Amino acid sequence: MATKAPEFQATALEAIPKIASLARGQFRTHKTKNVEWRKTQLRKLYWALEDFKPQLVEALKSDLGKSSFEALLTEVDWVKKDCMWMLDHLDSFVKDQKLGSPDVPATYSIMNFRVKKEPLGTVLIIGPYNYPIQLLLCPLVGAIAAGCTAVLKPSELTPACAMWTKELIEKRLDSGSFSVVNGAIPETNALMAEKWDKIFFTGSAQVGSIIAQKAAQTLTPVVLELGGKNPAFITKNCGNLALAARRLLWGKTQNAGQVCMSQNYVLIDKDLVPTFIEFLKVAYKDMFPNGAKASPDLSRIVNKRHFHRIKKMLDDTQGKIVMGGELDESELYIEPTAVLVNSVNDSMMQEESFGPIFSIYPVNTLDEALNIANLIHKTPLSLFTFGNKAENNRILNEMTSGGATINDGFFHGAVNTVPFGGVGDSGWGAYRGKASFDSFTHFRTIAETPGWAEKLIRVRYMPYDFKALAF
Ligand code: NAD
């Protein structure tokens, strides 16, 4: 039986330095270097998620109107799978990597060059609201696996999830090594005043920039997982337009489109537009036979501020709503909506929608589509191509993005073990799978010079003797 989440309570500001110092102290005990200790923490996290499953599912419902199906698939079970995968592979990840040819020339092979995988230290993980469990705890899986201690800062916009996360982490994982600080800007600022060995931030580009600037003052490395204005390209040679419509609509119905990597706009050959819109409507009808509002599967917008942000994009558009368009503030409900636009300056093209709405922009050629996409955002988090093989390759070649999916919505980000990250201003660094371990690991090169090798390397000592180079 799920119980209601404890009432949201921000962590006292004066407690934050102590929490950080405790986590640093725990790291200095060196216990996290023990791989068995890390595995125990991963198992504890797995079982905590299993035991708190009903509470988390209910919290995701109350914070975001998330269905149990999505709550399990994309949040609770997702992180559990991460724990299992990491447990299966950790022994091989932690092994020293012996360096040989071509990294080490034959002349130096006697020196036993190797790379030792060391934990970075004590890290801060700051999460966003849209996947409050997954996007906070997956980086934690990487941090634990690498042997770091960590302090987590969940989003205050999803208070029930934040409170349960604090409970499950602090009750179940090693005390003091892993803590949760709840709160908003003042609490994050207090955390940023502490010294960390890495900061892992997921959220908006605007806040990411603040975090990166503050981190730069202490030369603290950061991973930034940010957002972007992600394009989808549909060319004349798109093989199956009905499938493209269904798959792109999927990208906007998951978590009510509050997904960093879903498409913001669709650049489509102008002759295909009427049929594409018809196929979107068919897909909509299949997914929501009684209308989206009646569906138990569609999430709600996280709060009024974001509801009004998305509503404003629809209010300001000069385009035409061709699918959806219903809003109900009392339920924070926004219908999956497509808007046909004809200007790159349209509100629907200029901002990241981060909601169940997207625009359709007709183009004459692929050249035009690529020009527009590169103009709107040169380094989006993701892009999607629906063309023939040559066109798909051309799009991937002429426009970069954090990740990309050919012939689908955001599938490159839907598998928990493949690397995920942005590029340029959509993010720095990657995680998931082995990349999560790497992200919190220092790859320390070690050389060992045997005493007996002295006669082989004596050339380095002064006075230099050019003749000795001939050995
Ligand atoms: P946000 O940037 O508003 O908040 C993220 C975190 O930063 C929260 O914990 C919040 O409390 C904290 N924060 C907010 N303002 C702050 C400030 N001024 N100083 C210090 N900390 C502050 O992001 P959000 O609204 O929670 O999430 C939506 C954004 O995140 C979208 O842009 C989306 O694209 C992006 N996102 C990216 C990814 C990814 O993996 N690349 C995943 C999810 C969301």
CB of 352 sitting under 6 A from ligand 1: yes
Percentage of the chain modeled with pLDDT above 90: 94
Residue pLDDT, tens place only, 327-374 = 999 999 999 999 999 999 999 999 999 999 999 999 999 999 999 999
pLDDT at 465 exceeding the cut of 90: no
Three-state secondary-structure class, residue 255: helix
DSSP symbols for 274-316 = HHHHHHHHHHHHHH-TT-GGG-SS----SSHHHHHHHHHHHHH
Asked if the model's pLDDT at residue 471 lies above 60, the reply is: no
Quick check: bond before 102 cis, omega within 30?
yes
When the pLDDT of each residue in the chain is averaged and rounded to a whole number, the result is 96
pLDDT digits (tens, 9 = 90+) for 382-395: 999 999 999 999 99
Residue 110's nearest CA partner among 380, 460, 457 is 457
- Please name which of 188, 227, 200, 63 lies closest in space to residue 129, comparing C-alpha atoms: 63
Atom of ligand 1 nearest to the CA of 306: 25
- Nearest ligand 1 atom to the CA of 210 is 19
Ligand 1 centroid – CA 338 distance (Å): 25
Q: Is 354 in the pocket of ligand 1 (CB under 6 A)?
A: yes
Taking the centre of ligand 1 as the mean of its atom positions, its distance from the CA of residue 91, in whole angstroms, is: 33
Do residues 173 and 149 lie in contact, with contact meaning Cβ atoms separated by under 8 Å?
A: no
Long-range contacts of 409-414 (CB under 8 A, 24+ apart): 409/247, 409/248, 409/250, 409/251, 409/262, 409/263, 409/384, 410/251, 410/259, 410/261, 410/262, 410/263, 410/382, 410/384, 412/261, 412/382, 413/261, 413/382
Tens of pLDDT, residue by residue over 199-248, are: 999 999 999 999 999 999 999 999 999 998 999 999 999 999 999 999 99
Residue 279 to residues 5, 284, 452: CA-CA distances in angstroms?
42, 8, 75
pLDDT band at 77 (very low <50, low <70, confident <90, very high): very high
Residue 265: the pLDDT is: 98
Place 107 in a pLDDT band, splitting at 50, 70 and 90.
Answer: confident
Beta bridge partners of 321: 339
pLDDT single digits (tens) 156-197: 999 999 999 999 999 999 999 999 999 999 999 999 999 999
pLDDT at 25: 98
Minimal-distance CA residue to ligand 1 atom 30 = 203
Q: How far is the CA of 421 from the centre of ligand 1 (A)?
A: 15
3-state secondary structure of 331: helix
Q: Which residue among 8, 13, 130 has the greatest number of ligand 1 atoms within 8 angstroms of its CB, and so is best to mutate?
A: 130
Confidence band for 2, pLDDT divided at 50, 70 and 90: low
150: pLDDT strictly greater than 70: yes
The Å distance, Cα 205 to ligand 1 centre, comes to 8
- The per-residue DSSP string of 59-85 comes to HHHHHH---HHHHIIIIIHHHHHHHHH
**Ligand 1 lined by 203 (C-beta under 6 Å):** yes
The Cβ of residue 241 has, within 10 Å, a number of other Cβ atoms equal to 18
Whether 254 contacts 377, CB under 8 Å? no
Helix (H) or strand (E) holding 268: strand 265-269
Residue 128 CA to ligand 1 center (angstroms) comes to 5
Give the CA count within 13 Å in the CB-facing half-sphere of 464. 3
DSSP 326: -
Asked if 36 is an active-site residue, the reply is: no
> Of the candidates 152, 247, 246, 157, which has an alpha carbon nearest to the alpha carbon of residue 191?
152
Q: Which amino acid is at 114?
A: R
Convert the pLDDT of each residue in 11-58 to its tens digit.
Answer: 999 999 999 999 999 999 999 999 999 999 999 999 999 999 999 999
pLDDT at 458 over 90: no
What type of residue is 365?
A: T
Contact between 64 and 158 (Cβ < 8 Å): yes
Does the C-beta of 387 come closer than 6 Å to ligand 1?
no
- How many angstroms does the Cα of residue 448 sit away from the middle of ligand 1? 45
Nearest alpha carbon, ligand 1 atom 36 = 203
When pLDDT is averaged across residues 280-303 and rounded to a whole number, the result is 98
Radius of gyration, CA atoms only, the chain: 25
Catalytic one of 225, 335, 352, 391: 225
Q: DSSP labels for 357-412?
A: EEEEEEESSHHHHHHHHHHH-SS-SEEEEES-HHHHHHHHHHS--SEEEESSSSGG
Does the Cβ of 251 fall within 6 Å of ligand 1?
Answer: no
Q: Is the pLDDT of residue 110 over 90?
A: no
Q: Report which ligand 1 atom has the smallest distance to the Cα of 183.
A: 11
pLDDT at position 467 = 75
